[in-house]
Amino acid sequence: MSDGSDESGAGTGRGTGKGRGKREAMPERYHIHTKNAPPRFRPVGRLGIVDWREDCAGCHNCVKRACVYDLYRDETDYVKGERSFLDYLYQCKGCLNCVQNCTKGLLTRIVNPEFERLGDEYYTPDMIVTTWFQAETGRIPVSGAGYRGRFSGSGFDAMWTDMSEIVRPTRDGIHGREYISTSVDIGRKLSCLSFDGAELASEAPLRIESPLPILFDRLPAPWASERLYGAVLQAANRTGLRAIVPEEWIANPPSAVSPQPSALSTQDCVIPLLSDVIAQLNEGLIAGAKMVEITDNDHVFVKAGLVKAVNPEVIVAIRVEATPQSAARIAELTKDGAEVVHVVFNPHGREQDGAHPRHARSVLREIHKRLVEDRIRDEVTLISSGGIALAEHLAKAIICGADAVAISLPLIVALECRLCRACENGEPCPVQLQDIGLDYAADRITNLLSAWHLQLLEVMGAMGIREVRRLRGETGRAMFRDDLEREIFAPIFGKK
Amino acid sequence: MSVATQIEVEQRVGPEIKPAPPRYRNEIGKFRVYRSAACTRCGRCAELCPYGVHQMGRGGRQMPRPRDYRCIGPSCRETGHYCIAACPAGALSLSINPSFESLGDWRWTADLLVATWLEAETGQMPGPHLESSLGASGGGFDRLRFRFPEAAAQADSLRHGLRKEDISTRVMLNRRNDGRPRVTIDVPFYGGGMSFGSVSIHTMLAKARAAAAWNTFTCTGEGGYPDPLIPYANHVITQVATGLFGVREETIQRAPIVEFKYAQGAKPGLGGHLLGDKVTPAVAAIREAVVGYPLFSPFPFHSVYSVEDHKKHLDWIAHVNPRALLSVKVSTPGDVDMVAVGSYFAGAHIVHLDGSYGGTGAAPDIAKKNIAMPIEYGIARVHQFLVAEGIRDAVTVVASGGVRTPDDAAKAIALGADAVVIGTAEMVALGCIRCANCESGRGCARGIATTDPELVEMMPLEWAGQRLINLYNAWRERLVEILWRLGLPSIADLRGRTDLLSHLDYESAEARR
Give B404→chain A minimum CA distance, Å: 11
Q: How far apart are CA B354 and CA B262, in angstroms?
A: 10
Determine, yes or no, domain membership for A125.
Answer: no
Of the candidates A111, A140, A155, which is a domain's last residue?
A111
Regarding pTM above 0.90, the answer is yes
Note every long-range contact of B112-116, with CB atoms under 8 Å and residues 24 or more positions apart, other chains counting.
B112/B404, B112/B405, B112/B428, B113/B428, B113/B433, B113/B434, B114/B28, B114/B29, B114/B30, B114/B69, B115/B405, B116/B404, B116/B405, B116/B425, B116/B428, B116/B429, B116/B471
Please count the structural domains in chain A.
Answer: 2
Determine, yes or no, domain membership for A285.
Answer: no
Does the beta-carbon distance from A99 to B381 stay under 8 Å? no
Q: How far apart are CA B249 and CA B49, in angstroms?
A: 57
Q: What is the pLDDT of residue A19?
A: 44
Q: What is the pLDDT of residue A85?
A: 52
CATH of the domain at B299: 3.20.20.70
Asked whether residue B234 carries a pLDDT value surpassing 50, the answer given is yes
CATH of the domain at B71: 3.30.70.20
Q: Would an 8 Å CB–CB cutoff place A173 in contact with chain B?
A: yes
Does the beta-carbon distance from A173 to B106 stay under 8 Å? no
Of the candidates B44, B77, B96, which is a domain's last residue?
B96
Q: Do A343 and A427 have their domain in common?
A: yes
Closest residue of chain A to B265, computed from CA coordinates:
A146
Q: How far apart are CA A382 and CA B281, in angstroms?
A: 54
Asked whether residue B510 carries a pLDDT value surpassing 60, the answer given is no
Q: What is the pLDDT of residue A154?
A: 95
Determine, yes or no, domain membership for B144.
Answer: no
Determine, yes or no, domain membership for B110.
Answer: no
Asked whether residue A466 carries a pLDDT value surpassing 70, the answer given is yes
Residue B294's closest CA among B226, B200, B360, B197? B197
Closest residue of chain B to A464, computed from CA coordinates:
B269
* Helix (H), strand (E), coil (C) string for B390-431: CCHHHCEEEEECCCCCHHHHHHHHHHCCCEEEECHHHHHHCC
pLDDT class for A265, splitting at 50, 70, 90?
Answer: low
Does the beta-carbon distance from A464 to B269 stay under 8 Å? yes
Which amino acid does the sequence have at A484? L
pLDDT class for A266, splitting at 50, 70, 90?
Answer: low
| DSSP labels, B91-140 | -EEEEE-HHHHTS--SSS-HHHHHHHHHHHHHSS---TTS--S--SSSSG
Of the candidates A111, A139, A163, which is a domain's last residue?
A111
Q: What is the pLDDT of residue B265?
A: 85
Asked whether residue B85 carries a pLDDT value surpassing 80, the answer given is yes
Give A170→chain B minimum CA distance, Å: 11
Q: What is the pLDDT of residue B512?
A: 47
Q: Using an 8 Å Cβ cutoff, are B451 and B431 in contact?
A: no
Give B8→chain A minimum CA distance, Å: 32
Asked whether residue B1 carries a pLDDT value surpassing 80, the answer given is no
The model's pLDDT over B157-216, given as tens digits with 9 standing for 90+, comes to 778 788 999 999 999 999 998 999 999 999 999 999 999 888 999 999 999 999 999 999
Asked whether residue A262 carries a pLDDT value surpassing 70, the answer given is no
Q: Do A83 and A179 have their domain in common?
A: no
Q: Do B227 and B305 have their domain in common?
A: yes
Mean pLDDT, residues B396-416: 97
Mean pLDDT, residues A248-257: 60
The model's pLDDT over B336-358, given as tens digits with 9 standing for 90+, comes to 999 999 999 999 999 999 999 99
Q: Using an 8 Å Cβ cutoff, are B126 and B475 in contact?
A: no
Q: Write out chain B residues lying below 8 Å of A59, CB-based.
A: none
Q: How far apart are CA B219 and CA B258, in angstroms?
A: 9
Determine, yes or no, domain membership for A410.
Answer: yes
Contact partners, residue A159, CB within 8 Å, separation at least 6: A361, A396, A399, A478, A479, A480, A481
Q: Average pLDDT of chain B?
A: 91
More confident call, B512 vs B308: B308
Does the beta-carbon distance from A163 to B269 stay under 8 Å? yes
Of A265-269, A491-495, B476-480, least confident by mean pLDDT is A265-269
Q: Do A208 and A70 have their domain in common?
A: no
Q: Would an 8 Å CB–CB cutoff place A461 in contact with chain B?
A: yes
Please count the structural domains in chain B.
Answer: 2
Of A295-309, B454-468, B474-488, B495-509, least confident by mean pLDDT is B495-509
pLDDT class for A278, splitting at 50, 70, 90?
Answer: confident
Q: How many helices (H) and strands (E) does chain A have?
A: 17, 17
* Helix (H), strand (E), coil (C) string for B444-505: CCCCCCCCCHHHHCCCCHHHHHHHHHHHHHHHHHHHHHHHHHHCCCEHHHHCCCHHHEEECC
Does the beta-carbon distance from B263 to A484 stay under 8 Å? no
pLDDT class for B20, splitting at 50, 70, 90?
Answer: very high
Closest residue of chain A to B308, computed from CA coordinates:
A1
Asked whether residue A178 carries a pLDDT value surpassing 80, the answer given is no
Q: What is the pLDDT of residue B293?
A: 86
Q: How far apart are CA B69 and CA B66, in angstroms?
A: 9
Q: Which of B142, B309, B365 to mutate to test the interface with A (most CBs of A within 10 A)?
A: B365
What percent of chain A lies above the pLDDT cut of 90?
63
Q: Do B301 and B438 have their domain in common?
A: yes
Does the beta-carbon distance from B365 to A143 stay under 8 Å? yes
pLDDT class for B4, splitting at 50, 70, 90?
Answer: very low
What percent of chain A lies above the pLDDT cut of 70?
85
Q: Write out chain A residues lying below 8 Å of B509, CB-based.
A: 493
Mean pLDDT, residues A29-39: 92
Of the candidates B96, B123, B142, which is a domain's last residue?
B96
Determine, yes or no, domain membership for A345.
Answer: yes
Determine, yes or no, domain membership for B127.
Answer: no
Q: What is the pLDDT of residue A78?
A: 63
Q: Average pLDDT of chain A?
A: 86
Does the beta-carbon distance from B455 to A68 stay under 8 Å? yes
Q: What is the pLDDT of residue A20?
A: 45
DSSP character at residue B267 = S
Mean pLDDT, residues B48-69: 89
The model's pLDDT over B91-104, given as tens digits with 9 standing for 90+, comes to 999 999 999 999 99
Q: Would an 8 Å CB–CB cutoff place A12 in contact with chain B?
A: no
Q: Do A461 and A331 have their domain in common?
A: yes
Q: What is the pLDDT of residue B209?
A: 97
Q: Which of B68, B102, B134, B387 to mutate to test the interface with A (most CBs of A within 10 A)?
A: B102
Does the beta-carbon distance from A489 to B371 stay under 8 Å? no
Of A301-305, B20-24, B294-298, B489-493, least confident by mean pLDDT is B294-298
Q: Write out chain A residues lying below 8 Å of B295, CB-based.
A: none
Q: How far apart are CA B122 and CA B125, in angstroms?
A: 8
Collapse the DSSP code of B60 into the 3-class scheme (helix H, G, I; strand E, B; otherwise coil) and give the result.
Answer: helix
Q: What is the pLDDT of residue B283?
A: 86
Domain hosting residue A81, numbered range: 47-111
Determine, yes or no, domain membership for B342.
Answer: yes
Q: What is the pLDDT of residue A60?
A: 81
Q: Using an 8 Å Cβ cutoff, are A306 and A281 in contact?
A: yes
Q: How far apart are CA A407 and CA A452, in angstroms?
A: 12
pLDDT class for A463, splitting at 50, 70, 90?
Answer: confident
pLDDT class for A73, splitting at 50, 70, 90?
Answer: confident
Q: Using an 8 Å Cβ cutoff, are B303 and B313 in contact?
A: yes
Q: Write out chain A residues lying below 8 Å of B503, CB-based.
A: 489, 492-493
CATH of the domain at A429: 3.20.20
Asked whether residue A89 carries a pLDDT value surpassing 50, the answer given is no
Q: Write out chain A residues lying below 8 Å of B438, CB-based.
A: 144-145
Determine, yes or no, domain membership for B153.
Answer: no
> Using CB atoms, which residue from B366, B436, B444 is nearest to A459?
B366
Collapse the DSSP code of A57 into the 3-class scheme (helix H, G, I; strand E, B; otherwise coil) and give the result.
Answer: coil
Mean pLDDT, residues B309-323: 92
Does the beta-carbon distance from A494 to B511 stay under 8 Å? yes
Q: What is the pLDDT of residue A6?
A: 35
Asked whether residue B243 carries a pLDDT value surpassing 80, the answer given is yes
pLDDT class for B508, splitting at 50, 70, 90?
Answer: low
Contact partners, residue A305, CB within 8 Å, separation at least 6: none
Q: How far apart are CA A146 and CA A138, in angstroms?
A: 23
Of the candidates A111, A131, A162, which is a domain's last residue?
A111
Give B423→chain A minimum CA distance, Å: 10
Determine, yes or no, domain membership for A421.
Answer: yes
Q: Do B191 and B51 have their domain in common?
A: no
Q: Do A60 and A177 have their domain in common?
A: no
What percent of chain B lies above the pLDDT cut of 70?
96
Classify residue B119 by burial, with Cβ atoms within 10 Å: 0-12, 13-18, 19+.
buried
Q: Do B414 and B498 have their domain in common?
A: yes
Determine, yes or no, domain membership for A42.
Answer: no
Q: Using an 8 Å Cβ cutoff, are B331 and B260 in contact?
A: no
Q: How far apart are CA A252 and CA A249, in angstroms?
A: 6
Domain hosting residue B332, numbered range: 3-9+166-508
Q: Would an 8 Å CB–CB cutoff place A124 in contact with chain B?
A: no
Q: Do A319 and A463 have their domain in common?
A: yes
Name beta bridge partners: B501: B146
The model's pLDDT over A364-408, given as tens digits with 9 standing for 90+, comes to 999 999 999 999 999 999 999 999 999 999 999 999 999 999 999
CATH of the domain at A53: 3.30.70
Asked whether residue B6 carries a pLDDT value surpassing 50, the answer given is no
The model's pLDDT over A193-225, given as tens digits with 9 standing for 90+, comes to 889 988 988 888 999 999 999 999 999 999 999
Q: Do A447 and A376 have their domain in common?
A: yes
Closest residue of chain A to B404, computed from CA coordinates:
A146
Determine, yes or no, domain membership for B151.
Answer: no
Collapse the DSSP code of B202 into the 3-class scheme (helix H, G, I; strand E, B; otherwise coil) and give the result.
Answer: helix
Q: Write out chain B residues lying below 8 Å of A68, CB-based.
A: 442, 445, 455
Mean pLDDT, residues B427-454: 89
User: Looking at this predicted complex, what is its ipTM?
Assistant: 0.92
Q: How far apart are CA A338 and CA A253, in angstroms?
A: 29
Determine, yes or no, domain membership for A139.
Answer: no
Side-chain-side CA neighbours of A65 within 13 Å: the count stands at 5
Does the beta-carbon distance from A149 to B105 stay under 8 Å? yes
Mean pLDDT, residues B38-52: 93
pLDDT class for A1, splitting at 50, 70, 90?
Answer: very low
Q: Write out chain A residues lying below 8 Å of B25, CB-based.
A: 100-103, 105
Contact partners, residue B466, CB within 8 Å, separation at least 6: B18, B20
Does the beta-carbon distance from A145 to B102 stay under 8 Å? no
Asked whether residue B303 carries a pLDDT value surpassing 80, the answer given is no
> Using CB atoms, which residue from B339, B369, B381 is nearest to A488?
B381
Q: What is the pLDDT of residue A259?
A: 39
Q: Do B62 and B206 have their domain in common?
A: no
Q: Do A61 and A210 have their domain in common?
A: no
Contacts across the A-B interface (CB distance below 8 Å) = 267
Of the candidates B74, B96, B118, which is a domain's last residue?
B96
- Hey, how many other C-beta atoms are within 10 angstroms of the C-beta on A399? 28
Asked whether residue B2 carries a pLDDT value surpassing 80, the answer given is no
Q: Do A90 and A183 have their domain in common?
A: no
Determine, yes or no, domain membership for A495.
Answer: no
Asked whether residue A495 carries a pLDDT value surpassing 80, the answer given is yes
pLDDT class for A481, splitting at 50, 70, 90?
Answer: very high
Determine, yes or no, domain membership for B308.
Answer: yes
pLDDT class for A141, splitting at 50, 70, 90?
Answer: very high
Q: Do A391 and A462 have their domain in common?
A: yes
Of A250-254, A374-378, A416-420, B232-236, least confident by mean pLDDT is A250-254
Q: How far apart are CA B247 and CA B230, in angstroms?
A: 15
Q: What is the pLDDT of residue B322?
A: 95
